[in-house]
Amino acid sequence: KTATREFSKENELGKGAFGAVYKAVLADGSVVAVKRLFPTEQNVADFLKEVVLITGIKHRHLVQLKGCCVRDKQRMLVYEYAENKNLAEALWGKERSFDLTWTQRLNICVGIARGLSYLHEELQPKIIHRDIKPQNILLDKDLNAKIADFGLARPVVEDATQMATHVGGTLGYFSPEYATLGMFTEKLDVYSYGVLVLEIVSGKRCINLKSPVEDEIYLRTWAFRLCRENKLLDLAAKGLPTESKGDEILAVLKTALSCLQEDPSKRPTMSQVVNMLTGNSEFTI
Ligand code: ADP
Ligand code: MG
Ligand code: MG
């Protein structure tokens, strides 16, 4: 039970067209995040989908749904609370109080990969998230990555390629086959993950609202050049460590580029990505 007074501006964690997310304290003293949806027909339908899809799913790198609440037309989702906000805030938020170190960035990349690998390879039916981007990755108090926002997620039926009736998500993170044809398999998430990793390593956003596509290509070219020329000057200029960790950074960039291949069947699976990042992989681009 949450008191109405807790849904105030000062407890607001995030806000969107759907409603808002608030920090709240339950009767037992535990802190949670409550997503309160505007009572539109679409939201009521999406609410049910999200609840059905992720109820009972528990994983270190997925934000946990602890419960839900229906009161008249109000729909609320109660999640575990992530203390360090979302990854967009941590990477380039104006109010951020610290810059992520290289080790923290690498751990976040590995954590997201583990979460996605669980969704794609361990669950039955497997789940495609479809909206992987920094705003939907939360960070807990120890900076563990937690994948959030299952509003666009879909279960996979018999391993078939699915067609979206409405191509939802965020343009800069779309794979070519999703952007042009609306086709999606779990390789859509692998592609979005590749874009996300380039953002995590470079600290640059791939999305400039004026020309999203150009910026993703820019970031990719930047990573290609670094990998080809073994040049880490750009990173050094940004204050990232390059002497002792140079090889590690290049390995992560190469992994991201393998995720960004045009042909979805050539992209690695997320468990291959985990292996590539943690250094026990045979996979090459
Ligand atoms: P939407 O579907 O509108 O994108 P999200 O579920 O992504 O909604 O939540 C919007 C924002 O609210 C997130 O980007 C994050 O900043 C904040 N938020 C959401 N859930 C939590 C949580 N469990 N803990 C802390 N902040 C959260
Ligand atoms: Mg979101
Ligand atoms: Mg959403």
- The DSSP H or E segment spanning 151 is none
- pLDDT value of position 256: 92
The conformation of residue 48, written as its DSSP 8-state character, comes to: H
Is a pLDDT exceeding 90 seen at residue 215?
no
Nearest Cα to Cα of residue 189 among 87, 277, 285, 269: 269
Global pTM value: 0.91
The residue nearest atom 19 of ligand 1, judged by CA position, is 21
Question: Cβ(14) to ligand 1 under 6 A?
Answer: yes
Find out whether the beta carbon of 13 lies less than 6 Å from any atom of ligand 1: yes
Report whether the peptide linkage leading into residue 176 is cis, meaning its omega lies within 30 degrees of zero: no
Q: Region 54-60: what's the mean pLDDT? A: 93
Strongest mean pLDDT among 5-14, 94-103, 112-121, 202-211: 112-121
Q: Please indicate whether residue 85, judged by its CB atom, sits closer than 6 Å to ligand 1.
A: yes
pLDDT at 275: 95
Q: How confident is the model at residue 277 (pLDDT cuts 50, 70, 90)?
A: very high
Q: Is the CB of 151 under 6 A from ligand 1?
A: yes
Confidence check: pLDDT of 167 > 90: no
For the record, the structure tokens of 283 come out as 């996979």
Report phi then psi at 218, rounded to 5. Answer: -60, -45
Ligand 1 pocket, residue 150 CB under 6 Å: no
- Here the ipTM equals 0.99
Alpha carbon distance 104, 223 (integer Å): 20
Q: Give dist(CA 148, CA 88) in Å, integer.
A: 13
Could you report the per-residue pLDDT of 236-262, keeping only the tens digit for each? 555 565 555 777 888 898 899 999 999
Distance from residue 33's CA to the centre of ligand 1 (Å): 8
Among residues 179, 178, 173, the alpha carbon closest in space to that of 256 is found at 173
What is the pLDDT confidence band of residue 271, given thresholds at 50, 70 and 90? very high
Q: What is the pLDDT of residue 73?
A: 82
131 is catalytic: yes
18 lines ligand 1 (CB under 6 A): yes
Q: Is the CB of residue 90 below 6 angstroms from any atom belonging to ligand 1?
A: no
Which residue CA neighbors atom 4 of ligand 1 most closely?
Answer: 149
Average pLDDT (21-32) is: 93
Catalytic residue among 46, 72, 131, 263: 131
Identify which of 40, 149, 173 to mutate to test ligand 1's pocket (most ligand atoms within 8 A of the CB). 149
Q: Which residues contact 255 (CB under 8 A, 6 or more apart)?
A: 197, 268, 273, 276, 277
Beta bridge partners of 146: 138
| Burial class of residue 196 (count of CB atoms within 10 Å of its CB; 0-12, 13-18, 19+) | buried
pLDDT of 3 > 70? The answer is no
Beta-carbon neighbours within 5 Å of ion ligand 3: 149, 151
26 Cα to the center of ligand 3, angstroms:
24
Measured by CA distance, the residue closest to atom 9 of ligand 1 is: 14
Beta sheet of 19-25, edge-to-edge order: 12-16, 19-25, 31-37, 74-80, 65-71
197 or 283, which is more confident: 197
Mean pLDDT of the chain: 86
Cα(146)–Cα(80) distance, integer angstroms: 10
User: Which pLDDT belongs to residue 1?
Assistant: 47
Ion ligand 2: protein residues whose beta carbon lies under 5 Å? 136, 149
**Higher pLDDT pick, 138 / 160:** 138
pLDDT digit string, tens, across residues 67-110? 999 888 889 999 999 999 999 999 989 988 888 988 899 999 99
Nearest atom of ligand 1 to the alpha carbon of 86: 16
